[in-house]
Structure 1
Amino acid sequence: MRQNPSFTLASEDAVKRVIRENPWATIVSRTDAGELVASHYPVLLEETAEGISLVSHVGRPDEQLHELGQHEVLVIIQGPHGYISPSWYDAKPAVPTWNFVSVHLWGTPEILSDEENLRVLDDLVAHFEQKVPEPRLMNGTPENAAYAARISAGTVGFRLRVDRFVGKDKMSQNRPAETVERIITELDAGSPYADPRLADEMRRARDERTR
């Protein structure tokens, strides 16, 4: 991912925030045969003080396709993104662009034991179910627990301790303040490309720049 000093997301804490808020990940591997393999799974950030660590799982036989644990993988986290029309700028000539926040993370996965994989699956379900009025937890009832233990055999859990990362947070930081405000207004409600989540990301980037 090409970097630009105006848009670089270098803070580990900022990268962790992006992962927490956007847990749907793309996992990319280059196999020993030279093939590129990509899969898509939710990930959880392990809340530790040291570095960035992710846990998740893949369904069998994806672990064989990725040769999981045998070599480095790339995990891509994509945050809010969207089209930015030059009609939202001033009258000067301009071209459209795309605002986005994205993080690339590299590391070699550690394969989890069956017991830890089941715990991670339980944590994943609990993480997302907590917002539901009547959560259906994996271990909420004996029947659910038995079912979860049975189907977990079709998954392979992993932990990825991130060795390095790059992040990009392109939110019109190179535009005048009044232009940024117009873009936020259009994204909030006014345009065919309205996207409140992207508008919120732009507000966050704006506020950080003006502190």
Structure 2
Amino acid sequence: MRQNPSFAMTDVAELRRVIDAHPWMTLVSNTPDGLVASHYAVLLDEDRDDLTIVGHVGRPDDAILGLGEHELLVVVQGPHGYVSPGWYGDVQAVPTWNFVSVHLSGVPELLSTEENLKVLDRLVARFESALPQPRLMWEPPNDEKFVRGLERGTVGFRLTPTKVVAKRKLSQNKPDEMVDTIIAELEAGHGPYTDPRLPAEMRRAHESIRAARDIR
């Protein structure tokens, strides 16, 4: 992902927030047979305060990706949406796409059986907890034999990134009044491409920008 200093994200707390809020990720590996991509839910490592992530893949995706053998790229896709040139007013303009994305690269470490079970348990709890009657991994009718059989069909991993490229392209190069108009249009939800989380992300970014500017 080509970086632009105006759009770069470097604050670890902000990166962790984006990663935590968007757990459905793309795993990309450059193998002898060419590029391979898989899609899995991935979480921050709860025992770390950096950008280390944990997850699993189903067999035989571990072999297809060459998991643990070489560098893996994990793509975190945050809120994104189309921005119409019509929102800029009567000026020369072209469309653009606002987005937040984080790329994490590194060689993953394969997890032990017990570590993988812990990650699988966390994944189930993370998503079931939002439901009125959660079904957690170890609860009946599941029993230990079933759960351990499930684990054997997966390979867990931990990735501490050695390279992080994060981009928050949210109209930082536009005047305040234009940004406010874009946010209003996105909140109105007129376009077929809008993500309702995008205007909230824009507000967060621009409030920080304006606060920093006011201090100066």
Given the two structures, how large is their TM-score scaled by the length of structure 1? Answer: 0.94
Structure 1 residue 189: Cα displacement: 1.8
Structure 1 residue 140: Cα displacement: 2.1
Tell me: CA distance 1:101–1:29, structure 2 relative to 1, closer, same or farther (3 Å).
same
Alpha-carbon distance in structure 1 between the residues aligned to 2:76 and 2:19: 7
Alpha-carbon distance in structure 1 between the residues aligned to 2:159 and 2:172: 32
| Maintained 8 Å contact 2:101/2:167 | yes
| Maintained 8 Å contact 1:189/1:195 | no
| Maintained 8 Å contact 1:137/1:144 | no
Partner of 1:207: 207
Alpha-carbon distance in structure 1 between the residues aligned to 2:152 and 2:191: 45
Matches within 5 A, 1:14-29: 14-29=14-29
Which deviates further from its counterpart, 4-13 or 129-138?
4-13
Q: What value does the CA root-mean-square deviation take over the aligned residues? A: 1.5
* One-letter amino acid of the structure 1 residue matched with residue 137 of structure 2: M
| Maintained 8 Å contact 1:188/1:195 | no
Structure 1 residue 190: Cα displacement: 4.4
Structure 1 residue 195: Cα displacement: 2.9
| Maintained 8 Å contact 2:25/2:39 | yes
Q: Which runs of 5+ in 2 are unaligned?
A: 212-216
SS at match of 1:76: strand
Partner of 1:155: 154
Structure 1 residue 146: Cα displacement: 3.7
* One-letter amino acid of the structure 2 residue matched with residue 25 of structure 1: M
* One-letter amino acid of the structure 2 residue matched with residue 195 of structure 1: D
SS at match of 1:184: helix
Q: How many residues align?
A: 210
CA-to-aligned-CA distance 1:78-106 (integer Å, 9 cap, x gap): 10111100111121110000000001111
Partner of 1:30: 30
Q: Which runs of 5+ in 1 are unaligned?
A: none
Structure 1 residue 49: Cα displacement: 5.0
Matches within 5 A, 1:102-181: 102-141=101-140, 143-181=142-180
CA-to-aligned-CA distance 1:131-175 (integer Å, 9 cap, x gap): 111111001236354422222211111111111201000000111
* % identical equivalent positions: 55
CA-to-aligned-CA distance 1:96-124 (integer Å, 9 cap, x gap): 00000001111111111111111110010
Alpha-carbon distance in structure 1 between the residues aligned to 2:154 and 2:99: 32
Structure 1 residue 192: Cα displacement: 2.2
Structure 1 residue 68: Cα displacement: 0.8
Structure 1 residue 47: Cα displacement: 3.5
CA-to-aligned-CA distance 1:57-78 (integer Å, 9 cap, x gap): 0000000001111111111101
